[in-house]
Structure 1
Amino acid sequence: MPDTDTEPRVLIVDDEQEVADAYALRLRDVCAVTTAYGGREALAAVDDRVVDVVLLDRHMPDVSGDDVLATLRDREFAGRVVMVTAVDPDVNVVDLPFDDYLCKPIDRADVRSVVDQQRQILAYETLGEYFRVKSTELVLSAQTPSGEPTGSGEDEAIREKADRLERRVRRLLEDETVLTEFEAVDRTLA
């Protein structure tokens, strides 16, 4: 899954094509949008690419939004999920592991706002993980005389994970000052 986009990636899932396409139109100039017109298609889309935010219809005929959500969480999906539905929430909503819940119809400003809110949350969650992994990478490279890989493969895996997380953070963050400040800290041993 290449990570080359410079915008947040949003997957819109709704079995009503007109609804999914309308949300996509509202977001097209603020993020990279993919649409899926059913649950199976949504799960395939998440398998095919990195997705940051999913706008997920709750009631669909092939695979329900509840089942898509459960599958995403079972797969340890590393994005944010917003349930978007015409069905009023009931007591069962307590057991659903969504990140936000919106009732249709949703206006343009609200769609944009919720995507931006979820983008910001994901940016800072990812930033924390990036700092942890990058710090580990820097400590490992400081342990070898020339900073060369140890040959264990573990350091290469950590470097690749740090690079992947950094690309995602840079795509999600609007202000990269915190990255610049992190990079400016001297972490070498005295």
Structure 2
Amino acid sequence: MAEDRDDRPEGARPRALVVDDEREVADAYALRLRELYDVETAYGGDAALEAIDEETFDVVLLDRHMPRTSGDDVLATLEESDFPGRVVMVTAIDPGFDVIDMPFDDYLCKPVDREDLRAAIDQQCEILGHEMMGEYFGIEAKRRVIVAELPESERADHEEYRTIERRAKERRRRAQRLLDDPAELLDSFDGIDRERN
């Protein structure tokens, strides 16, 4: 359950970025979310892109109507850069047919109550967590086959092996941060014998 997240230490919970040019709105949403997520705020599109460039966020709550760099501009930039998270538009702009081609993952019309905001984030965290777990399994299966077949002396200096080792650890940590109880999935994966008999 998402409520279990409030017991997790900082850094072990999903990370959300609230983006709105109206400080009061961004701060109000952030306040509603802080007990379950690690939350940052950005008061405009440029600040959002800067924050995303510097840190990893799992979910971005993005207002569409902002001066200078709009939410649509931020969304386009995130798509171009293959942003490794989920985007929820949270906006007062009524959607039209233009949303069909927009690369967001959910769309909430303001005003949004706390339960709907949390439910949308929880859903996106669950989806992303399973994506991260799938990537982890694919990478870790390769790493384990190499470990089973090649001695440490050969693996130690192999750059590509070290890269997949780091990627596997990062994906596993992120999946554990996003999913409420990934233990069963991890145990099932760990229980598969990949070594030659």
The answer to whether the superposition gives a TM-score over 0.5 is yes
Q: What are structure 1's unaligned runs of at least 5 residues? A: none
- State the Cα deviation string for residues 150-170 of structure 1 (Å, max 9, x = none): 633110000000011111011
Larger displacement relative to structure 2 (143-152 or 14-23)? 143-152
Equivalent in the alignment of 2:55: 49
Equivalent in the alignment of 1:178: 185
- Does residue 116 of structure 1 match 2:122? yes
CA contact (8 A) 1:56 1:83 kept: yes
2 CA distance for matches of 1:31 and 1:150? 37
Among all aligned residue pairs of Structure 1 and Structure 2, give the percentage whose two residues are the same amino acid.
53
- Does residue 91 of structure 1 match 2:97? yes
SS of corresponding position for 1:55 = strand
SS of corresponding position for 1:114 = helix
Q: What are structure 2's unaligned runs of at least 5 residues? A: 1-9
Q: State which of 154, 157, 170 in structure 1 corresponds to 2:160.
A: 154
Instruction: Give the CA deviation at 1:146.
Output: 4.8
SS of corresponding position for 2:62 = strand
Task: Give the TM-score taking structure 2 as reference length.
Answer: 0.91
Q: Would you identify which runs of 4 or more consecutive aligned residues in structure 1 move more than 2 Å?
A: 145-148
- Does residue 15 of structure 1 match 2:59? no
Equivalent in the alignment of 2:76: 70
2 CA distance for matches of 1:25 and 1:157? 38
Q: State which of 169, 175, 181 in structure 1 corresponds to 2:175.
A: 169
- State the Cα deviation string for residues 114-154 of structure 1 (Å, max 9, x = none): 01010000000111111000011111222213585163311
State the aligned residue count: 187
Equivalent in the alignment of 1:104: 110
- RMSD (Å), alpha carbons: 1.3
Distance 1:147 1:179, change over 3 A: farther
Equivalent in the alignment of 2:194: 187
